[in-house]
Chains A and B, each alone.
Chain A
Amino acid sequence: KAGVTQTPRYLIKTRGQQVTLSCSPISGHRSVSWYQQTPGQGLQFLFEYFSETQRNKGNFPGRFSGRQFSNSRSEMNVSTLELGDSALYLCASSLTGTSASGNTIYFGEGSWLTVV
Chain B
Amino acid sequence: QKEVEQNSGPLSVPEGAIASLNCTYSDRVSQSFFWYRQYSGKSPELIMSIYSNGDKEDGRFTAQLNKASQYVSLLIRDSQPSDSATYLCAVNSGNTPLVFGKGTRLSVIA
Contact = CB atoms under 8 A, between A and B. Distances in A.
B71 interface: no
A43 B43 contact: no
Interface in B43-97: 43-46, 49, 51, 88, 92, 94-97
Contacts of B95: 99
Interface of B: 31-32, 34, 36, 42-46, 49, 51, 88, 92, 94-103
Interface of A: 33, 35, 41-45, 48, 56, 58, 88, 90, 98-99, 101-110
A42 B42 contact: no
Nearest to B98: A98
Contacts, number: 58
Given A107-B44, A107-B45, A45 B98 contact: yes
A35 B100 CA distance: 10
A103 B34 CA distance: 10
Given A101-B32, A102-B32, A43 B44 contact: yes
A104 B88 contact: no
A57 to B, nearest CB: 9
Contacts of B46: 104-106
Nearest to A45: B97
Given A42-B103, A43-B44, A105 B98 contact: yes
B91 to A, nearest CB: 11
B43 A109 contact: yes
B48 to A, nearest CB: 11
A45 B102 contact: no
Contacts of A109: 42-43
Given A42-B102, A43-B100, A45-B98, A98 B92 contact: yes
A101 B92 contact: yes
Contacts of B98: 33, 45, 98, 105
A4 to B, nearest CB: 8
Given A42-B103, A98-B98, A99-B96, 9 more contacts: A42-B88, A42-B101, A90-B43, A101-B32, A102-B32, A104-B34, A104-B46, A107-B44, A108-B43
